[in-house]
Amino acid sequence: MKKILLLFSALALSAGVQAQVVLNIMSPSSLQGGLTHSNNGAVAGWGLADLLDPADAVLDTVVVMDDSTAGINTLVGTDPNTGNAYPGIPLKYEGCNLDTNSAWQTNRLNGKIVLIARGTCEFGLKVYLAEKAGARAVIMFNRDNAGLNAAPGVYGGLATIPFAMVARPDGDNLLNAILNGQTVVAFLGNKIGAFPNDMSISPAEAVYPPALAVPGMLAMDSTDFKMKLGFWGRNDGSANQSSVVASVTVKRGTTTVYSTTASFPLNSGDSSYISFPPFQLNGYPLGAYEVNYNLTAGTDDFPIDNNIDFATVINDSLYSYARVDPATLDALDNNSQQLSSFTSSWGMCINFQHPNASRSLLKGVRWAAWSNTDTILGRTVDVSVDGWYDSFTDLNDPNCAVTNTSPLALDTYTYTTNAQDQLVSHYFTAPIELDDNQRYIVCINSSDQTLYLNHSGAVAYQLNDQMAGEQPRELVRLDNSWFVRGFSGNLIPTMQLILEQNTSGVGEEVYYDIKPFPNPAQQLVTIDLGGFDARSLEVVDLTGALVLRQDQVNAVDGKAVVDVTALPNGAYVFIAKGADRDVKFNVVVSH
């Protein structure tokens, strides 16, 4: 779990500085991939103004700082996964006493990327001394599980080599690998043009589903839920490519339910938007629908950014725009954020709107928070729900603003445990009835200067937000003012809505609680029709092909039996057809 702790004095986040700056571990394979980091281009006062110039990029072996200082720095942070303090860091890894006249010390660092621990002297001094010893770049790791924009101090302006700061867990992983004899190679900088063959996809330039956790009652078929698919592909390499292949695959478990490709040429430095047909099914059995975007030109010298993977999890009751664990439905990202400019309070908020929202009731809200005082016990937040009545088409509409709202709920939640970075749930006294196509703003509000609310930057919907018809997802309330897109679309709250079935019925949209059992089924599946008068029954697979049909349903005591022996293992959509409506439900066959 990575955390980024930032105080924002403005609502807009600047993506320009690090938009193309990467810190990527090239080897060993066990550590390959990009690391969340801040760099000296993000803070004024460092000698290297920024890392956007590809000429300043560094690709080299990583070595550990060792200036021979005895002792242990016991000032450390706390591991949020265990609640225990991290082990103390040997002072020799801090580089505060590096002797640039010592051949033993400088020979080890010369021409290398140097891993240095945060500690007892200025950041700028550490980087400056490492540069004087011949280092090409510095990776510094924090004592906490948090990123940090490091101040240059007195010496930072004299340091001209690239410098990046990573969180404690990433630093520990690099340190342990090197101390155990592994060769660690890293790339730091703007990689455009650094390699001949280098295709890339950015998470900020991909289209995502409407949400990444959706209750089954709101994903009964393609009219309820479907995924727009597409991404911008870029040729970051120095060579032109005659045959670039873009693809998207959707899997449910081990079964591929959607796959398509496109091929085209792409010259060095050029980009192309690839649009795919939407993914939509007649029905969505519960489970994770895992999406993979891929862009390749065959050989790739920097393959780490050729893929984007995410999943939409169809589940019983939770709605989330941020990523969730398919098994536990817990948020996968815990990046703590706070607006520093609030006077009385601020709120992280999401907008919920669905054409069939009346099938559900808003039962409660789940969210996670963190306090920089190491305890959240006794802290309070307010949970608010407002109807949003402004009239606008989409995010591109100049009338898209929050000026007309009506409060529906305002409750206070008090932490009774020290649930740092852990999802907690608040349930309303009475579930809130929802109307079709109505916008609702749901917020967690805080007036506590030490409290940070958790967001995700992994899937932030920047490209979705530019498309026609797209509705706001995240909002920020600063004192008494509302801001659509929240943190400029770069972040999304990890807040989750807890929904339940609206069994009272709204007009013709009566929800029948049909229950098949056993499910998964081997031979016979018994279907409790829940009071629905089924005249016939159709079964389709996830491609939409009809695989079984019963022209007459013989129900005894409201239950029908279907023989699925002839069906291959897999997930199926059962469609019970009545006199004036159809009801769909999902059955898994596993012989």
| 173-208 tens-digit pLDDT | 999 999 999 999 999 988 888 889 999 998 889 999
Residue 2 counted as domain residue: no
Last residue of a domain, one of 449, 475, 501: 501
Domains in the chain: how many in total? 4
Last residue of a domain, one of 271, 293, 319: 319
Q: Are residues 223 and 75 in the same domain?
A: no
Residue 279 counted as domain residue: yes
> 223-232, 543-552, 562-571: which has the highest mean pLDDT?
223-232
Q: What share of the chain is helix, strand, coil (3-state, %, to 5)?
A: 10, 40, 50
Q: Are residues 312 and 329 in the same domain?
A: no
Conformation bin of residue 298: beta by default, left when phi > 0, alpha when psi is -120 to 50: left
Q: Are residues 258 and 402 in the same domain?
A: no
Residue 140 counted as domain residue: yes
pLDDT score at 51 = 80
Measured at the CA of 532, the angle between CA 530 and CA 533, to 5 degrees, comes to 140
Q: Are residues 332 and 312 in the same domain?
A: no
Tell me what the pLDDT averaged over the chain comes to: 88
Distance, CA of 207 to CA of 279 (rounded, Å) = 12
Helix (H) or strand (E) holding 22: strand 21-27
Of 215-224, 454-463, 470-479, 501-510, the least confident = 501-510
Q: Are residues 377 and 427 in the same domain?
A: yes
543 to 280, 346, 499, 574: CA distances (angstroms): 9, 46, 28, 13
| 29-42 tens-digit pLDDT | 899 888 888 888 77
Residue 164 counted as domain residue: yes
106 φ/ψ angles, rounded to the nearest 5 degrees: -75, -35
Q: Are residues 462 and 435 in the same domain?
A: yes
Distance, CA of 136 to CA of 115 (rounded, Å) = 11
Residue 1 counted as domain residue: no
* CATH number for the domain harbouring residue 537: 2.60.40.3080
Residue 135 counted as domain residue: yes
* pLDDT surpassing 90 at residue 79: no
CA-based nearest residue to 163, from 134, 133, 131, 194: 131
Q: Are residues 85 and 186 in the same domain?
A: yes
The answer to whether 174 touches 115, Cβ cutoff 8 Å, is yes
Q: Are residues 32 and 88 in the same domain?
A: yes
Q: Are residues 379 and 266 in the same domain?
A: no
Residue 524 counted as domain residue: yes
Q: How confident is the model at residue 336 (pLDDT cuts 50, 70, 90)?
A: confident
The answer to whether 471 touches 351, Cβ cutoff 8 Å, is yes
* pLDDT surpassing 90 at residue 404: yes
E strand intervals along 457-579 = 474-478, 481-484, 492-493, 496-501, 515-517, 524-528, 536-541, 546-550, 559-563, 570-577
Q: Are residues 478 and 519 in the same domain?
A: no
Taking residue 499's Cβ as centre, other Cβ atoms within 10 Å add up to 26
Distance, CA of 591 to CA of 541 (rounded, Å) = 16
Q: How confident is the model at residue 352 (pLDDT cuts 50, 70, 90)?
A: very high
pLDDT score at 488 = 67
* pLDDT surpassing 60 at residue 18: no
Q: How confident is the model at residue 138 (pLDDT cuts 50, 70, 90)?
A: very high
For residues 508-522, give the mean pLDDT: 74
pLDDT score at 7 = 33
Q: How confident is the model at residue 510 (pLDDT cuts 50, 70, 90)?
A: low
Specify the amino acid at residue 507.
G
CA-based nearest residue to 460, from 416, 417, 501, 490: 490
Helix (H) or strand (E) holding 179: helix 168-179
For residues 449-453, give the mean pLDDT: 92
Last residue of a domain, one of 501, 534, 555: 501
The answer to whether 486 touches 557, Cβ cutoff 8 Å, is no
* CATH number for the domain harbouring residue 231: 2.60.40.10
pLDDT score at 225 = 92
For residues 492-516, give the mean pLDDT: 76
- pLDDT > 90 in the chain, percent: 60
* CATH number for the domain harbouring residue 450: 2.60.120
Residue 10 counted as domain residue: no
Beta strands 307-315 and 213-215 are parallel
Q: Which residues contact 95 (CB under 8 A, 6 or more apart)?
A: 65, 67, 114, 116, 117, 126, 129, 130
Q: Is the pTM of this model over 0.85?
A: no
362: β partners = 432, 499
91 φ/ψ angles, rounded to the nearest 5 degrees: -60, -25
* CATH number for the domain harbouring residue 48: 3.50.30.30
Q: Are residues 220 and 283 in the same domain?
A: yes
42 against 298, higher pLDDT: 298
Helix (H) or strand (E) holding 127: helix 123-132
pLDDT score at 378 = 92
| 253-285 tens-digit pLDDT | 888 999 999 999 999 999 999 999 999 988 888
Range of the domain at 565: 515-589
Query: Six-digit token pair at 578?
Result: 């009545």
Q: Are residues 300 and 393 in the same domain?
A: no
6 against 108, higher pLDDT: 108
Cα radius of gyration (the chain): 27
CA-based nearest residue to 215, from 318, 122, 291, 145: 318
